[in-house]
Amino acid sequence: MNDQGPLLTRGVRWSLAGLGLVLLAALVLGFVVLPSVKPDFREAGWWQAICRAAGVPTRWYEAGAMDDPGASRVPVVPDFTRVAGGDVGRGGTLALQCTMCHGARGVSASDVPNLAGQYAEVVFKQMLDYRNGQRRHALMQALATSLSEQDIRDLAAFYAQLPRPSPNPQQARVPALVDVGSPLRGIAPCASCHGGIDQKPGSPWLEGMPRAYLEAQMEAFAIGERRNDAHGVMRNVARQMTAAEVVDTASYYASRRVPFSPTAPGR
């Protein structure tokens, strides 16, 4: 009987120490280990880190934290612009508003994305997303708002038939993510959506795009600043990429065109 007092206190002491250890391990895991292996943990801020560590579904806290523009409202159907008949001639006239930045032949000399040879459904969807506010960019949003849906169809048809920038004949080293993906992380090869192996409707043609633009878009997807991708397909990829992989894949795609020269014909 006499022994029970000290025994109980010792038991309580042990369980308290155990609890403390578990708590410490959880804190280290949630705030030190996970943020260091997943870059978007750090950028997303403490509130999201806490929510995520607690297993709260993403949409519960992302919506409030970031003034959610909502999911894209544009259904992605292959070739729907061709089916619906965009007018290339009319598109060419409308495109005079775009040449200043996207280049006279849809190939940009600066860090603006190329439009030449871009899949019509991609241009159509992105323009509508800018117009509806699901993709944010002050300039493109203002421009898109001034265009009718038919204008956008015509522009998409016009850009789709322009020749893509000449492919670089030099064989570049293909990053593993591009043609194999990362099965362990559940990342499908980029080329299985973006062309090369296969093209999934709505996935832009990336070859020859400016490196800085590609990097910026992947980073924006990774931190959820851009989220007009249907079902988060691209966010799920970008979130899992390391900074080095972003640079590597962006450099690869950017290198897939003959370097820009202002004197080259047709530019």
Site residues (vs ligand HEC, CB under 6 A):
97-98, 100-102, 112-113, 115, 123, 125-127, 135, 137, 139-140, 143, 155, 177, 188, 190, 192-194, 200, 202-204, 206, 214, 217-218, 228-229, 233-234, 237, 249
Nearer to ligand HEC, 48 or 108 (CB): 108
Q: Which two tokens stand for residue 49?
A: 């880190």
Smallest distance, ligand HEC to C-beta of residue 29, A? 27
Nearer to ligand HEC, 90 or 137 (CB): 137
How far from chain centre, in Å, is Cα 210? 15
Determine the residue type at 132: N
Q: Which two tokens stand for residue 220?
A: 């924006």
Smallest distance, ligand HEC to C-beta of residue 125, A? 6
Smallest distance, ligand HEC to C-beta of residue 231, A? 9
Nearer to ligand HEC, 206 or 223 (CB): 206
Smallest distance, ligand HEC to C-beta of residue 216, A? 6
Let me know the angle formed at the C-alpha of 155 by 153 and 161, rounded to the nearest 5 degrees: 105
Long-range (24+ apart) CB contacts under 8 A made by 95-100 are 95/155, 95/158, 95/159, 97/143, 98/143, 98/155
Residue 244 neighbours by CB distance under 10 Å = 9
Tell me phi and psi for residue 92, to 5 degrees: -60, -40
Nearer to ligand HEC, 141 or 168 (CB): 141
Smallest distance, ligand HEC to C-beta of residue 184, A? 14
List C-alpha distances in Å: 71 to 42, 125, 135, 211, 221.
24, 12, 10, 26, 13
Smallest distance, ligand HEC to C-beta of residue 193, A? 3
Beta bridge partners of 194: 199
Q: Are 109 and 156 in contact (CB under 8 A)?
A: no
Q: Are 254 and 209 in contact (CB under 8 A)?
A: yes
Smallest distance, ligand HEC to C-beta of residue 22, A? 37
Nearer to ligand HEC, 51 or 181 (CB): 181
Nearer to ligand HEC, 12 or 176 (CB): 176
Helix axis angle for 120-132 and 138-145, nearest 10°, is 100
Pairwise CA distance, residues 17 & 168, whole Å? 64
Nearer to ligand HEC, 49 or 177 (CB): 177
